[in-house]
């Protein structure tokens, strides 16, 4: 079995079309897509002058993020097997450790960005872990420094879109998700 050939740009364009309030002209192009550990500066070696970053990091307590994304990664050329021993994920040893790891990401994005860069983040909570996603994301941006939070919008819950949980079944109600917009300060 081989993964089908997929246009990463078309996948991203389709996803971006679903984000509200992106009707302003984009200052960048969908040409510089990278895959790497965003906490590591080495992942940004060839990234310069980014104007827009759109991301959705793992929610606090989501300790199987990499394993849960294996099918998406396989479609993009990743391994066909799931590595359940993956210890290279963002820290979930406590909210402070999680915030510190997210702050590493925002510092790296900042270093690779132009002066007027935009950062869009979809972030929420998982029902099985008590957390306040707005506090976590704001704290990580503050710890990173260099970003000015422009807006936080309620993105409703995962019920608002077609989600994997609908197919897999679930025993709890989905938590709220939020869209954050920050600019380089």
Give the rounded percent of residues in the chain with a pLDDT score beyond 90.
32
Q: Which residue has the tokens 């993020």?
A: 65
pLDDT at res. 90? 84
pLDDT at residue 168, as a whole number: 53
Instruction: List pLDDT tens digits, range 129-151.
Output: 889 999 999 999 999 999 999 99
Local structure of residue 29 (DSSP, 8 states): -
**32-52 average pLDDT score:** 78
pTM of the model: 0.71
The pair of structure tokens assigned to 141 is: 């941006």
Q: Distance between CA 75 and CA 165 in Å, rounded?
A: 20
Q: Which residue has the tokens 């969908």?
A: 30
Residue 43 confidence (pLDDT): 81
CATH architecture of 8-64+91-184: 3-Layer(aba) Sandwich (3.40)
Reported confidence tier of residue 98, pLDDT bands at 50, 70, 90: very high
Q: With helix as H, strand as E and coil as C, how does 135-158 read?
A: HHHHHHHHHHCCEEEEEEEEEEEH
Q: Which two tokens stand for residue 72?
A: 């998406």
């Amino acid at each position: 079995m081989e993964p089908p050939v997929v246009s990463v740009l078309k996948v991203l364009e389709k996803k971006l079309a679903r984000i509200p309030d992106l009707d302003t002209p984009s200052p960048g192009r969908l040409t510089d897509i990278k895959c790497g550990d965003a906490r590591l500066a080495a992942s940004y070696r060839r990234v310069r002058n980014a104007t827009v970053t759109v991301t959705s990091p793992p929610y606090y307590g989501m300790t199987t993020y990499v394993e849960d994304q294996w099918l998406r990664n396989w479609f993009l050329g990743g391994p066909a097997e799931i590595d359940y021993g993956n210890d290279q994920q963002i820290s979930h040893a406590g909210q402070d450790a999680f915030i510190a790891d997210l702050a590493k990401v925002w510092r790296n994005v900042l270093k690779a960005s132009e002066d007027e860069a935009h950062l869009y983040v979809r972030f929420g909570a998982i029902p099985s872990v008590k957390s306040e996603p707005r506090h976590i994301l704001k704290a990580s941006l503050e710890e990173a420094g260099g970003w000015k939070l422009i807006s936080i919008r309620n993105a409703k819950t995962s019920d608002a879109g077609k989600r994997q949980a609908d197919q897999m079944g679930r025993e709890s109600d989905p938590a709220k998700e939020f869209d954050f917009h920050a600019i380089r300060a």
